[in-house]
Structure 1
């Protein structure tokens, strides 16, 4: 496709979408704007965008597609600003926010003028942030949710999907309300629980200073998402508060149920509680991308002798397998330590496991 694509917000998501469009639509011009001018300059320097705009109005005026990739609160302000600008006839505007009901409501300032707005949410992410972390494969096989309203043009929707074809994502169309419920259940609410677990551990440390030391292993892993941006999660909770308030009430009932089981000391009931959870969890797709970015970790048992870690990383380098993170869970004399190696995707992790099993006798386990 030919045309001008204007990306507002040049972080991980905005930058990755720009790369996807550049690769698929060679004749398109990608213009970028970020409130941080240095971020925009960097995006152009590394080839994520073709041009920078000094203002939103400058970039939007001749755009065929406008992608708003900013926090939801900022996106609402941008929608209002765009509604006052002279835009190209037929322009399509979309966003990438993780809440949709309030955005669709705010976008009425555009749709009432006949401007096409279609809400979007690419459900992918990374441990890294910023435009330097952008990559064209970020959305591959991930779900990309769209929330067109009843007045959305079918032609505009088709054109938007054509622009975004290079993401190689799985496109789904849902209502704004269903979107916010789904993401509330499988993304927003788990982040609240992870944060609350960390708060509980921090409070428990007042009774024992061993808490933080013992929490360095598995506890750190299951609460990893609690390290996400506080600003982003503040906005998400405020924009999806009705859904989350209902989920929190349901969670209170669930915890009350567990408390009652413990009070009765019913061992069989406790067993069935965990069995049901295990069966459901084990039945979830293991290779599908979901709402929360997956962590592709490989656990390797390594003996405590000089050079064992460099031996493993050397083999991975030989096979040109990229590592995103590496850490040691435990190393003691004469005891096997656990090396945790993180990768960008499932394919890299599978190749790494095969590589280590081929070159060494170290035991590996997928996390």
Structure 2
């Protein structure tokens, strides 16, 4: 396909989508705009985009596809601005926001003028941010949710998929309301729970100084998502407040049930509670990408001597395997330490395990 694609917001998601479009549609011209001019210049320098738009007006007027990759509140403002411009009548406007109902409602200002708006949510991410972290493989095998309203012609949805075919994502078409309910359950709500666990632990740590030290290992792992952007999650929660309030009410009932089991010392019921949770969790797909970005961690048992970390990273460098994070678990019961190395993909994690095994006698394992 040829034409002009305008990407508004050149962070991880916007930059990665730009790369996907360029990979598949060589004749297309990808134009980018970011409120941070340095990000836009970096995107041009890295070849993520072909041209820089000085403002949204200049980039949008002649575009055949407009991708809004901005925070949900800012997306609504951008949609309002676009509705005031003389856009190409055949343009398709889409977004990448984590909530859909209110964004699709705000797009009525576009649809009244005959402009096609199709809500979108690529369910992929990374531990890194910014256009320098953009990758054309970011969305491979990830779910990409599209939320067109009922009157949107199927041919327009198919055209958007064609523009985005380079993502190699799994496209699902659902309603905006269904999107917000599903992502509320499997993404928004878990972020609230993770943050609440951390907040409670922080309060308890005021009276018990050992808590931060003991929480350095597995506790950090199970609460990782609490480190997500506070500004972003403030907006997401407010956009999806009705569904999240309902889920929190259900959670309180669930926790009251556990409390009752403990009060009654119901050993069999407690066992069943954890058994059912284990069975459901173990039955979840292990290789598919879901609503929360996966953490591809490799655990390496290492002896405690100077230079061991650089030795391990040297093995990976020889094989040109990139890592996204590395740390040592501080809580351990024996003399050996545990090095935790994070990777961008499952393939990289598997390659790293084979690499380290071939160069050394260190044992490796992955978290499940």
8 Å CA contact 2:118, 2:149 repeated in 1: yes
Say whether residues 1:321 and 2:317 are aligned partners: no
Map 1:23-38; keep pairs closer than 5 Å. 23-38=23-38
Number of aligned residues: 367
Is contact 1:304-1:333 (8 Å) kept? no
Contact 1:91/1:116 (8 A) holds in 2: yes
1:174 corresponds to: 174
Is it true that 1:70 corresponds to 2:76 in the alignment? no
Q: What corresponds to 1:79 in structure 2?
A: 79
Per the alignment, residue 91 of structure 1 pairs with: 91
Q: Which runs of 5+ in 1 are unaligned?
A: none
Q: What do residues 303-336 of structure 1 show as CA deviations (whole Å, max 9, x unaligned)?
A: 1233332332222222221121111113889811
Aligned twin of 1:58: 58
Residue 265 of structure 1 deviates from its aligned partner by 0.2
- Counterparts of 2:167 and 2:331, CA distance in 1: 42
Work out whether 1:135 is the aligned partner of 2:128: no
Tell whether the 8 Å contact from 1:331 to 1:338 is kept in structure 2 after alignment.
Answer: no
- Secondary structure of the residue aligned to 2:57 is helix
d(CA) in 2 for partners of 1:253, 1:332 = 36
CA distance in 1, matches of 2:42, 2:310: 33
In 1, the alpha carbon distance for the partners of 2:334 and 2:218 equals 22
TM-score by length of 1: 0.98
The verdict on how the C-alpha distance between 1:201 and 1:26 changes in structure 2, with shifts beyond 3 A counting, is: same
Q: Distance in 1 between matches of 2:362 and 2:46?
A: 39
How far residue 277 of structure 1 moved from its aligned partner, in angstroms, is 0.4
Whether 1:227 and 2:227 are equivalent positions in the alignment is yes
Deviation string, structure 1 residues 259-296 (Cα, Å, up to 9, x no partner): 00000001111111000000100111111001101110
> For the residues of structure 2 that align with 1:331 and 1:180, how far apart are their CA atoms?
39
Structure 1 partner of 2:289: 289
Mapped contact 2:10–2:131 kept (Cα < 8 A): yes
Gaps of 5+ in 2: none
**Deviation, structure 1 residue 354:** 1.4
* Alpha-carbon distance in structure 2 between the residues aligned to 1:75 and 1:258: 41
2: CA distance between counterparts of 1:137 and 1:172? 19
CA RMSD of aligned residues (A): 1.3
Q: Distance in 2 between matches of 1:333 and 1:204?
A: 24
